[in-house]
Amino acid sequence: MVNPYHSLYLHVPFCQNICDYCNLYSVVNNENSTRTSYLGLINSQLKDASNSLVNLQSIFVGGGTPSQLTIPEMKYFLKSVNDHVTLRGDYEFSVECNPSSITDDKLKLLRDSGVNRLSFGAQSTTRKTRSVLGRRTSKSQLDQALNSALNIGFENINIDLIYGVPGQEIEDWQYDLETALSYNLPHYSAYSLILEEDTVLAEKFSSVDDELAVDMYDLTAEMLSTKDLRRYEISNYSKPGKHCKHNYDIWKGKSYLGIGPAATSYDGEKRWSQIRDLEKWIAGHAPEIDEIPAKDRAGEVISFGFRTVDGWQKTELENICGLNTLTEFSDIFQDLIKSELIYEDNNSLKPTEQGLLFADSVAEAFIFI
Ligand code: SF4
């Protein structure tokens, strides 16, 4: 049997509280019975899919807040993964952590269960910005979590940062970057704030300062490059060889299975999403299948790939969703080249600086409906 999945995503939907800017699916639920049912279903869905979860390149445990699981819950969760999933030799196994809920014992358990990459939600090192974001984690908790993770033997660590926050000045962002760089990590994610619908922040503010956000985006690349950190995707920077394999493969259209409420999956043809409701997911609500013609799917995959600095090798474009998109979409590629959103070299098509900054314009060129 051909292995349908390249990687696995697991969604842990529990948070201590809901941050004011966040629209990821999560709940504040500490009821034992719900959490036990959630963990049981994760285990049984992994078991059911185990024949397809062989020799995977990566596992990513995101949320929500995976580190919010208690030690016994985390033990059960990781045992379920290790019982039903096998990984390649050069695998990547990432877990998202909140500095306020990770402990040394949890870090040791993660390490001993094969986790080899951690991603910490820091968002900002300044109290002013964290308070606008409704982020309760403190800078000292971040310092302590990172020190512990390094001491316990994790080397591959990311922190997430956010810029373009209302009231945040360029000097504040510069301070955030300087502080983040002082940790000397191999990976940083720096996201421009989006005021997402149905968030507390979107009720308080109607827009962000786009010009200031572009200045912050430029400053990020400038400051990170001094530490050998290269932008490899719009919001992601790494030292050589330390990019997030899991996310990179998803941007490049590789298949993945997502398990947990709100998790999405892609098998190379179809995309489907689990319901954004923990109780309904536990009750067995069927996923929503997003079936669209191969040409539309190929367009979607290609526009995602143009979020990466290296774009597409021409040979890769010869077979996307069963289509030779290099010829099928050649007019679109030529238009994007004329608009200076992408450029062509011998072997590849890559986004320009403008193409990265205006990724939405690149994506719109591939919407056919
Ligand atoms: S930002 Fe992270 S910790 Fe805050 S609500 Fe969203 S998932 Fe939970």
In a domain, 266, yes or no: no
Ligand 1 atom at shortest distance from the alpha carbon of 121: 2
217 and 95, same domain (yes or no): yes
Last-in-domain residue among 193, 222, 251: 251
Residue 258 Cα distances to 198, 254, 265, 315, angstroms = 24, 13, 5, 28
114 and 246, same domain (yes or no): yes
What one-character-per-residue DSSP string does 12-81 give?
E-B-SS--TT--SS-B----HHHHHHHHHHHHHHHHHHGGG-SSEEEEEEEES-GGGS-HHHHHHHHHHH
* pLDDT level of residue 212 (50, 70, 90 thresholds): very high
Q: Is the pLDDT of residue 99 over 80?
A: yes
* pLDDT level of residue 79 (50, 70, 90 thresholds): very high
Predicted pLDDT at 119: 98
pLDDT, one tens digit per residue, over 296-327 is 999 999 999 999 999 999 999 999 999 999 99
Q: Is the CB of 24 under 6 A from ligand 1?
A: yes
In a domain, 259, yes or no: no
218 and 339, same domain (yes or no): no
In a domain, 184, yes or no: yes
Q: Is the CB of 57 under 6 A from ligand 1?
A: no
In this structure, what CATH number is given to the domain that contains residue 30?
3.20.20.70
Distance from residue 9's CA to the centre of ligand 1 (Å): 17
Distance from residue 22's CA to the centre of ligand 1 (Å): 6
170 and 51, same domain (yes or no): yes
* Tokens linked to 232: 């490899």
Distance from residue 250's CA to the centre of ligand 1 (Å): 22
Average per-residue pLDDT for the chain: 96
167 and 303, same domain (yes or no): no
Predicted pLDDT at 291: 87
Domain that holds residue 323: 293-369
228 and 363, same domain (yes or no): no
Predicted pLDDT at 213: 97
DSSP state of 276: S
24 and 116, same domain (yes or no): yes
Q: Is the CB of 27 under 6 A from ligand 1?
A: no
Last-in-domain residue among 251, 275, 304: 251
Which pTM value belongs to this model?
A: 0.97
In this structure, what CATH number is given to the domain that contains residue 319?
1.10.10.920
210 and 306, same domain (yes or no): no
Q: Is the pLDDT of residue 97 over 50?
A: yes
* pLDDT level of residue 30 (50, 70, 90 thresholds): confident
* Protein residue closest via CA to atom 6 of ligand 1: 22
78 and 178, same domain (yes or no): yes
Domain count, the chain: 2
Q: Is the CB of 63 under 6 A from ligand 1?
A: yes
Mean pLDDT, rounded, for 223-238: 97
Tell which one of 12, 14, 18 to mutate to probe ligand 1, the residue whose CB is within 8 A of the most ligand atoms.
18
In a domain, 172, yes or no: yes
Q: What percent of the chain has pLDDT over 70?
A: 99
245 and 311, same domain (yes or no): no
In a domain, 285, yes or no: no
143 and 224, same domain (yes or no): yes
* Tokens linked to 58: 């990566």
Last-in-domain residue among 251, 271, 303: 251
In a domain, 234, yes or no: yes
Q: Is the CB of 235 under 6 A from ligand 1?
A: no
158 and 240, same domain (yes or no): yes
In a domain, 279, yes or no: no
